[in-house]
Amino acid sequence: MVKPSVFVTRRWPAAVEAKLAEDYNVVLNTSDKPLSPAEIRSALKTHDAVLPTVTDTLNAEALDAPGAQTRILGNYGVGYSHICAASARDLGLTVTNTPDVLSECTADLAMTLMLMVARRAGEGERELRAGGWTGWRPTHLVGTKVSGKVLGIIGYGRIGQEMARRAHHGFGMEVVVYNRSCVAPEVLARCNATQVDTIEELLPRCDFVSLHCPGGAENRHLINSRRLDLMTPDAFLINTARGEVIDEFALIQALQYDLIGGAALDVFDGEPRVSPELLHCDNLVMLPHLGSATKEAREAMGFRVLDNLADFFQGRDPRDRVI
């Protein structure tokens, strides 16, 4: 039996690539650079499956491939807003993602960012590396206590719930939740969380706000100047979701004029480009999209794609089908 042809758009963990090579006729993007729309169209025309990541823009232009050979896009990651759903449907493509397996590690990273920005860890490290530390003193880099504070979570899916578990059971934080749909009472009860009806109701109540909602056009600039104005002057914003969820110009203004206490970002609008103005905000912690960057999570993501491919090519509906 001829093995299906699979194209992988970026380099994956070695263990996953080895298993792919065992099960399929695999072509790797050895340059490990994001592909152009033309390169994506070429892959769609010559392979049975294409395995993209968040760095691949599979918009209408890239998916303009009538008669494509590809039948499934096995996305490496949870979010799939970089894939044009309408175009994928027009081509008759099945699209899958990789939920569950990265939730804990992404929540760990969100907690890391929250603690860093609250305790001014980024500023402290920069000072040390620059040789500017003159010793301990009572007023030096005084930050904000995290334990016992109020955490607002926007998007209460798997990652949001893991964030709440860490915050509530580890740091005794009160959890307030906004979610597009009603969260089951038993799910809220796990962290004694309270669900509110609007983001506007959530923001003024919180010392920290952590974003865990999907990206895409629907949530573009969900956090804008009007909503930033609703945060208290000493509150902090954390984003490990998608860069486009925040209006970065509005955030820069809020940080420069101390309208909020600070922010911590793992994702950026238009990444890997980062606004130069963000780089000059001392009350901002930035990491280069490390949410799922653990050996355990990245391997599990790859093997989850393999599970979906096996289902598809053996005639079953993939467990993680999203389109």
For every residue of 199-257, DSSP letters joined together read HHHHGGG-SEEEE----SGGGTTSB-HHHHTTS-TT-EEEE-S-GGGB-HHHHHHHHHT
Would you state the structure tokens that stand for residue 82, as one six-digit string? 């970089």
Tell me the domain boundaries of the chain.
5-99+295-313, 103-286
Strand partners, 32: none
| Same fold across 5-99+295-313 and 103-286 | yes
Residue positions annotated with a catalytic role: 242, 271, 289
Q: Which sign does the torsion angle of CA 171, 149, 255, 156 carry?
A: positive
In terms of Cα–Cα distance, which of 99, 111, 70, 83 is closest to 318? Answer: 99
Q: Which helix (H) or strand (E) holds 46?
A: helix 37-46
- CA–CA gap between residue 54 and residue 270 (Å, rounded): 11
- CA–CA gap between residue 6 and residue 281 (Å, rounded): 43
- Domain 5-99+295-313, CATH: 3.40.50.720
| Side chain identity at residue 297, one-letter code | A
In terms of Cα–Cα distance, which of 50, 79, 74, 48 is closest to 62? Answer: 50
CATH superfamily membership of 103-286: NAD(P)-binding Rossmann-like Domain (3.40.50.720)
Strand partners, 178: 154, 196
Would you state the structure tokens that stand for residue 64, as one six-digit string? 């303009």
- CA–CA gap between residue 33 and residue 29 (Å, rounded): 8
Would you state the structure tokens that stand for residue 232, as one six-digit string? 């208290």
Please report how the helices 295-313 and 14-23 are oriented relative to each other, as an axis angle in degrees rounded to 10: 10
Q: Give alpha helix (H) positions in 130-223.
A: 158-165, 171, 185-189, 199-202
> How confident is the prediction along the chain (323 residues), in pLDDT tens digits per residue?
789 999 999 999 999 999 999 999 999 999 999 999 999 999 999 999 999 999 999 999 999 999 999 999 999 999 999 999 999 999 999 999 999 999 999 999 999 999 999 999 999 999 999 999 999 999 999 999 999 999 999 999 999 999 999 999 999 999 999 999 999 999 999 999 999 999 999 999 999 999 999 998 999 999 999 999 999 999 999 999 999 999 999 999 999 999 999 999 999 999 999 999 999 999 999 999 999 999 999 999 999 999 999 999 999 999 999 99
